[in-house]
A = this chain, B = another copy of it.
Amino acid sequence: MPTRRSFVRIACVLFTFTLGLTGAASAADDSREAPDPLPSWNDTPARSAILEFVRVSTTEGSPGFIPPEERIAVFDNDGTLWAEHPMYFQLAFAIDRVKALAPARPDWQDKEPFKSILAGDLKTALADGERAVVEIIMATHAGMTTDEFALAVSDWAASARHPRFDQPYTACVYQPMLELLACLRAGGFKTYIVSGGGVEFMRPWASRVYGIPPEQIIGSSGKTQFELRGGSPVLVKLPQIEFIDDKEGKPAAINNRIGRRPAAAFGNSDGDLAMLQWTAAGDPAHPGRARLAMIIRHTDAQREWAYDRESPIGRLDKALDEATSRGFIVVDMKADWKKVFAFEK
């Protein structure tokens, strides 16, 4: 007779086969131990919490059971699904775009922050803080059609490499989180990204990398303008912010776009706190349903980075203080993850 854990394992694996998400092995065989759905997770309480959540939420008759259509899981991206150091990858993209666009923009040679970027002096370029970042993002994300922008992102994702790991940025995704995404989908969960990053920056590669389709990616956005060019409609990206999908904006966006309270939420910083609170509180109409709110804590300077309360990128302070009282599960990257990146030896 299977134990509870092996039941969840079998369920995850069978679903995974059914959905065709893996072709690594032949059909499951009842007589042998089912493959581990979370092989990159150590056998710690964090891993148990995930497997228990999947078991309870998908077992009909269990008090925590969640009807399939209500199985919504939301993931922050930067620092939760992929790395965010030494700078947000979208900023790395924008800086690479400044260099690529410079020949057509002679005015940038004498204008900050572009001048310093082109001189290779990032420290000076970004000395102005958020204002400089917004200026770089606007200058490199606007003034073209949405189709042109998607192409620029795809080209960058295929060619740019992370400075520390010498890997494509899209390879700097956390292997344990890919397994978690697959395990939740195997349990019938619809997985969403709810990120402060730009929605149009994520879509060109996120489907391939995370298995999350474009319509399940929510992010910050700039305004677009519909135009007929020679009779053909295009959407032109304007240098104006439409929505910042961060902090209190995250539950607001979830409500506006999904229209359901998530059953599971995953984040890594105070920017995710409101989303974690919103999820952990549960749906007042169905208080008994299982829910899972999880914080990925960066504790591994050797394999990744170690940062939390004092970090300018991915600051994790208030959310950590509230973890115990609100029932957030804190994942300690160093202790809980057997492997961080797939490319690790």
Binding site for B on A (CB under 8 A): 69, 146-147, 190, 199-200, 203, 213-215, 217, 221, 223-226, 228, 232-233, 235, 242, 248, 251-252, 255-260, 274, 277-278, 281, 284-285
- Which residues from chain B contact A147 at a C-beta distance below 8 Å? 284-285
A235 touches B255 (CB 8 A): yes
Residue in A200, A221, A223, A255 with the greatest tally of chain B CB atoms within 10 Å? A255
B233 touches A251 (CB 8 A): yes
The one of B215, B232, B258, B278 in contact with A214, judged by C-beta atoms closer than 8 angstroms, is B258
- Which residues from chain B contact A146 at a C-beta distance below 8 Å? 255
Q: In chain B, what residue has the closest Cβ to A256?
A: B221
Q: In chain B, what residue has the closest Cβ to A206?
A: B259
Given A147-B284, A233-B274, A233-B277, the answer on whether A214 and B259 have CB atoms closer than 8 Å is yes
Tell me the minimal C-beta distance from A178 to chain B in angstroms: 20
The one of B190, B233, B277 in contact with A281, judged by C-beta atoms closer than 8 angstroms, is B233
A256 touches B215 (CB 8 A): no
Given A233-B281, A257-B215, A284-B147, the answer on whether A274 and B226 have CB atoms closer than 8 Å is yes
Tell me the minimal C-beta distance from A11 to chain B in angstroms: 22
Q: In chain B, what residue has the closest Cβ to A199?
A: B256
The one of B226, B242, B256, B258 in contact with A278, judged by C-beta atoms closer than 8 angstroms, is B226
A226 touches B214 (CB 8 A): no
Tell me the minimal C-beta distance from A103 to chain B in angstroms: 26
A214 touches B251 (CB 8 A): no
The one of B224, B256, B257 in contact with A252, judged by C-beta atoms closer than 8 angstroms, is B224
Q: In chain B, what residue has the closest Cβ to A151?
A: B285
Besides A226-B252, A232-B281, A235-B251, 17 other A-B contacts (C-beta < 8 A): A146-B255, A190-B215, A200-B259, A214-B258, A214-B260, A215-B258, A221-B256, A223-B252, A224-B255, A226-B248, A226-B274, A226-B278, A228-B277, A233-B274, A233-B278, A235-B252, A242-B256
